[in-house]
A and B are shown apart, each in its own frame.
Chain A
């Protein structure tokens, strides 16, 4: 269920503005890859190119390759909708559908694939996904209540359940804990550690401790100067990155001596 992604020479544009330049990156299956870097360096932008969400912004475009298990997701006859069904995404702010119940939220992606689910299959899938997202015990008695009635942390876990219900190959997370309290954050970090067994995970975070706690590999993005495009400065095993990075700017950023 999990695949590797190889990104080569990826340039990412907003209209004429080159936001991220020349990214080469290997994302290993069944591992957690963390992306760190200062604000505005293009982490979110890069993450969104991995499931072709970048291009939903008017005039946004991409040059280069991102190959998932041998198939370039930017290939000519690749349907972006198909890519997004295989690569799930969790956003910075929890965004369950407010018009749907908790259960409907979990099933939202599955229903898109036009699968006719029997009632019992659907119930089983809802339970499995909510358990997978560590939310089942908290919501099992109110599955038909609106998803927007949950706390922020619960909503975020609901979004994770919604994303894993479709059994994606890859899970992208853009600062999934930035709107959460420390306890919910820990719950989600534990969850990421569990999900790693089945999924390829890429997570953007501003929290150095979080990156070192949850990830296997870490990539550091930076801007050469304001107005210049962001770049992937270096990428290595997380332990190496946090103990002995090869670049001075990485060390400065990680140790908080930055800017």
Chain B
């Protein structure tokens, strides 16, 4: 009972003279470390600025030229008309992918972090992590040869059953539509979102889990009361990482999605029809070989748009996270 009045161990050693700072063993390491982290911070910023500057410089000819100058390449569209549907397709594919991947990831992460028996949790987590190691070409092949034929009948059923919903109407095989591409994207972002979510869920303080259990929460209610709210900002960050990957993914989309004809410009909500969409990244990869001069500049301008989208997405994510910082549980 009285053992807690021990002298503070700090008092026990003779205090070092204040002037002796330089001799302190941790001192040099400290400076080295802060130097390294400052340098890498600057390096990252510089790279970002350099990439942006490059994109801007190379895109400038296309931005400043008239529609006639680029009409050959864009089949008569202005730069804006050319890029806008690509932006639309990119964002749409990424959003569908997230709509599929995020709930699934949260469920898997919750399962691994809190509900699965230990013997199962480890292997499942490992298998999910392995998904991240598969190259995107392989995903493209998998989507092309396996997924597309497989989901065809399912899309057909959905489309006829829910034909009154314009979004889902008028499916026609083959299923090389934006939804198929998004499913593959979803599988690709799943490991990232799951891994990050799992980490945050694991950090839920034992105290909060027990607080909800003691109130008579079931397992699912524990997740809803303690684990999910606590992990909310982490899951948002995870989703944004996934979104970044989905927005920029080239190969899998290129191999699966049948794009709209070059030079057509529309914003189609028919997510089960093929030849309706194209993404920026896949479009660049597809067109860059036949492009030269000003056409290259047009493609780079579309790349600049992609860069801008990712920046905006990240800023929105930060804003969402900071808006409820007081409730985050970080304090």
CB atoms of B214 and A99 under 8 A apart: no
* Mask: chain A, 60-89; 1 = CB below 8 Å from B; 0 = not: 000000000000000000000111111011
CB atoms of B329 and A166 under 8 A apart: no
* Mask: chain A, 104-131; 1 = CB below 8 Å from B; 0 = not: 0000110011000000000000000000
Partner of A84, one of B205, B216, B331: B216
CB-defined contacts of B225 to chain A, threshold 8 Å: 97, 108, 112
CB-defined contacts of B230 to chain A, threshold 8 Å: 98-99
CB atoms of B210 and A91 under 8 A apart: yes
List residues 127-154 of chain A with CB under 8 A from any CB of chain B.
Answer: 145-146, 148-149
CB-defined contacts of A98 to chain B, threshold 8 Å: 208, 230, 327-331
Q: How far is the CB of A217 from chain B (nearest CB, A)?
A: 22
CB-defined contacts of B38 to chain A, threshold 8 Å: none
A-B contact pairs, 19 of them (CB 8 A): A53-B214, A81-B218, A82-B216, A83-B216, A84-B214, A85-B216, A88-B214, A93-B207, A96-B211, A97-B212, A98-B328, A99-B232, A108-B215, A109-B215, A112-B215, A112-B217, A113-B216, A163-B215, A259-B1
Residue of A nearest to B217 (CB): A112
Q: Does B10 contact A (CB under 8 A)?
A: no
CB atoms of A56 and B210 under 8 A apart: yes
CB atoms of B208 and A100 under 8 A apart: no
Q: Does B174 contact A (CB under 8 A)?
A: no
Most buried by B among A38, A99, A101: A99
Interface of B is mostly: helix
CB atoms of B217 and A81 under 8 A apart: yes
Residue of B nearest to A166 (CB): B215
Question: Which size bracket describes the interface of B in this complex?
Answer: 20 to 34
CB-defined contacts of B87 to chain A, threshold 8 Å: none
CB atoms of A100 and B229 under 8 A apart: yes
Q: How far is the CA of A89 from the CA of B211 in the complex (A)?
A: 8
List residues 184-230 of chain B with CB under 8 A from any CB of chain A.
Answer: 205, 207-208, 210-218, 221, 225-226, 229-230
* Mask: chain A, 36-65; 1 = CB below 8 Å from B; 0 = not: 001000000000000101001000000000
Q: Does B261 contact A (CB under 8 A)?
A: no
Q: How far is the CB of B224 from chain A (nearest CB, A)?
A: 9
Most buried by A among B1, B214, B217, B232: B214
Given contacts A99-B230, A99-B328, contact A91 B213 (CB under 8 A): no
Given contacts A95-B208, A97-B225, contact A256 B326 (CB under 8 A): no
Q: How far is the CA of A244 from the CA of B329 in the complex (A)?
A: 48
Q: How far is the CB of B236 from chain A (nearest CB, A)?
A: 13
Q: Does A196 contact B (CB under 8 A)?
A: no
Residue of A nearest to B331 (CB): A148
Q: How far is the CA of A195 from the CA of B330 in the complex (A)?
A: 33
Q: How far is the CB of B217 from chain A (nearest CB, A)?
A: 6
CB-defined contacts of B217 to chain A, threshold 8 Å: 81, 112
Q: How far is the CA of A73 from the CA of B213 in the complex (A)?
A: 16
Q: How far is the CA of A83 from the CA of B1 in the complex (A)?
A: 34
Q: Does A162 contact B (CB under 8 A)?
A: yes
CB atoms of B216 and A97 under 8 A apart: no
CB atoms of B214 and A97 under 8 A apart: no
Q: How far is the CA of A118 from the CA of B223 in the complex (A)?
A: 25
* Mask: chain B, 222-246; 1 = CB below 8 Å from A; 0 = not: 0001100110100000000000000
CB atoms of B229 and A99 under 8 A apart: yes
Most buried by B among A51, A53, A98: A98
Q: How far is the CB of B95 from chain A (nearest CB, A)?
A: 26
CB-defined contacts of B2 to chain A, threshold 8 Å: 256
**Nearest 4 interchain pairs by C-beta:** A85-B216, A98-B329, A99-B229, A109-B215
Q: How far is the CA of A100 from the CA of B215 in the complex (A)?
A: 15
CB-defined contacts of B215 to chain A, threshold 8 Å: 84-85, 88, 108-109, 112, 162-163, 166
Residue of B nearest to A90 (CB): B214
Given contacts A97-B229, A256-B1, contact A112 B210 (CB under 8 A): no
Q: How far is the CA of A29 from the CA of B210 in the complex (A)?
A: 25
CB-defined contacts of A206 to chain B, threshold 8 Å: 1
Q: How far is the CA of A38 from the CA of B171 in the complex (A)?
A: 73
Most buried by B among A88, A95, A146, A206: A95
CB-defined contacts of B216 to chain A, threshold 8 Å: 81-86, 109, 112-113, 166
CB-defined contacts of B327 to chain A, threshold 8 Å: 98-101, 146
CB-defined contacts of B229 to chain A, threshold 8 Å: 97, 99-100
CB-defined contacts of A159 to chain B, threshold 8 Å: 211
Q: How far is the CA of A112 from the CA of B226 in the complex (A)?
A: 13
Q: How far is the CB of A242 from chain B (nearest CB, A)?
A: 16
CB-defined contacts of A109 to chain B, threshold 8 Å: 215-216
Partner of B207, one of A84, A91, A101, A163: A91
Q: How far is the CA of A89 from the CA of B207 in the complex (A)?
A: 12
Q: How far is the CA of A146 from the CA of B330 in the complex (A)?
A: 12
* Mask: chain A, 248-259; 1 = CB below 8 Å from B; 0 = not: 000000001011
Q: How far is the CB of B78 from chain A (nearest CB, A)?
A: 48
CB-defined contacts of B1 to chain A, threshold 8 Å: 38, 206, 256, 258-259
